[in-house]
Structure 1
Amino acid sequence: MINGYIPDNQFRSRDPKFKDHKTKYKNNTAKKVKPNSKFTTSDFKFNAKDLTCTCPAGEQLSFRCQRTDKNNNIKVFFEGRLLQCRNCTLKTHCMTNPDAANHRKGNGRQVSFILKKQHKENVTDWMRERIDSDKGKQIYSHRMSVVEPVFGNIGSNKKLNRFSLRSKTKVQSQWRMYCLVHNIEKLKNYGQLAA
Structure 2
Amino acid sequence: SIARYLEAMDTADRQEPAIAKARTARLQDKIAALKEQMRSLKEIEVQLNAAPDKQVSLTDPDARSMKTRGTGVVGYNVQTAVDTKHHLIVAHQVTNDGIDRDQLASMARLARTEMGVDKLTAVADRGYYKSEEILACHEAGISVFVPKTKTSGATADGRFSKEDFIYDAEKNEYRCPAGERLIWRYKTTERSLKLDRYWSSQCQQCSLKDKCTPSTERRVTRWEHEGLLEEMQVRLDLAPDMMRIRRQTVEHPFGTIKAWMGATHFLTRTIGRVSTEMSLHVLAYNMKRAIKLLGSETIMKAMRA
Q: Is TM-score (shorter-chain normalized) higher than 0.5?
A: no
User: Could you say which structure has the higher helix fraction?
Assistant: 2
Higher RCO (C-alpha under 8 Å, 6+ residues apart): 1
Bigger CA radius of gyration? 2
What TM-score comes out, normalization by structure 1 length? 0.40
State the TM-score, normalized to the length of structure 2. Answer: 0.28
